[in-house]
Amino acid sequence: FFTFLFFLALNAQSHIILGEASVHVTDGCARIHNEFITNQKTNFSYIDVKDCYESYPFDKAVASKTIDTLTDLIGGFYSFLDKAKELPQPGYDFRPMDLIAELNLFRNKSYATLYDFTIDIKHLFNDLKDAHTTFISNCFETFVFYTNMTFYSVVDDGKQKIKVFNDTIDRSNIDCEVTHIDGQQAFQIIYEYANKSVYWSRDLGVRFNIALDHAHAKKSFAIRYEIPEKPDITYTLKCDNTNEFNVIRNWNAFTISSILDKFNDSKSYFDNICNPIKESKQPVSFNPKHRKITKIIDNANGILAKQDQSVTTIRIVNQFVEFYKVKDFGVVKIITEQPNTLTTDETIAIFPKVIQGFKELANAGIKKVISNLV
């Protein structure tokens, strides 16, 4: 149900049994399904997706289990737990935090929906400003919100301005200056968004650039995975020497057909998207380049073992992590931070094997370990 990333990825399912409910117009997930079936649409209204995401009431037991899982993981694996408590160095802008203490505060909070709880947890992790540490919910990352307009920033006469990079609805707006967004200074709006919502760097300047980069979909100002605060957004534009004018755009939600095929109402959405019980049997395709790299790694491992008899293979885990003993120290070879050739359930299943690898190193008398990041 949730995914917590800090180099390793965990998908911890929350076991909720939803009561039977008849499909009716208030079910946003059902409306999405009907649009997809009737009109073969893969883009949907803001309100349909909002209603779909907010179909699930807050569950105290699920929240408690989630906090238990996160605090256990962080306490055992997050290397920068103490570092996160320190004040930022000059030039950096983020808040110090005791992550475990702040997570425990959620035990006494209440929310209207499961979505609200999930987003609050996500925002807490975003405050770390650590590109490799985030909290993701498969349930609420299905749709992408977009207004068909992206932006860039320039300095003109000593003043930094926001301009339209692309507009797929009205191309005459391209390169026009965006003076205001929802009535406030455009630069300040995106600056604040970068400060609060972008987490991929502790440098605010870098985060500002990411906020304008449409390639960073989950961090971009123009392309969102979270439900925007309201269904539309107003851009005030100034093109050449013309007077300013307003462009009002709706936040439309997009997804892909393979996801839309998996549900027809809120219950089936939860069962198949949020909390799938059956393991996916669909093979995950990967490109020839990945196959070639995998083969090279396999060959290199074989050559290493044959050439140096002092190297003892302890355990190899699914082209993900490998454990070796070299004389009196251990080598943990981390091939990838995200084994993307595996299904979600397969990824979950390999973590006990990774833990066992560390245990076997300890049982072999290893006191020192070298991490080899491939």
Q: How far apart are alpha carbons 370 and 357 in whole angstroms?
A: 14
What pLDDT shows up at residue 340? 59
pTM of the model: 0.70
162-177: average pLDDT: 94
Radius of gyration, CA atoms only, the chain: 24
- % the chain with pLDDT above 90: 57
DSSP single-letter state for residue 216: -
CATH superfamily of 145-254: PDZ domain (2.30.42.10)
The label of the residue with tokens 């396999």 reads: 298
For residue 336, what pLDDT band results from cuts at 50, 70 and 90?
confident
What pLDDT shows up at residue 334? 85
Cβ pair 58, 111 in contact under 8 A = yes
What pLDDT shows up at residue 271? 93
What pLDDT shows up at residue 303? 40
For 203-258, write each residue's pLDDT tens digit.
Answer: 889 899 999 986 655 678 999 999 999 999 999 999 988 899 999 999 999 999 99
Q: When comparing pLDDT for 281 and 346, which is higher?
A: 346
Each domain of the chain, given as residue ranges in start order, spans 2-143+255-274, 145-254, 288-373
Output the CA–CA distances (angstroms, integers) from residue 220 to 68, 142, 159, 216, 273, in the order listed. Answer: 31, 16, 22, 6, 24
Longest dimension (CA), the chain: 77
Round the average pLDDT of the chain to a whole number and report it.
83
17-30: average pLDDT: 63
Which neighbouring-strand residues pair with 177? 163, 238
Min mean pLDDT across 55-64, 118-127, 324-333 is at 324-333
262-279: average pLDDT: 87
What pLDDT shows up at residue 282? 43
> Over 80: is that where the pLDDT of 301 sits?
no
What pLDDT shows up at residue 13? 41
> Over 80: is that where the pLDDT of 310 sits?
no
Cβ-proximal residues to 107 (8 Å cutoff; 6+ apart), any chain: 63, 64, 67
Cβ pair 316, 301 in contact under 8 A = yes
> Over 50: is that where the pLDDT of 300 sits?
no
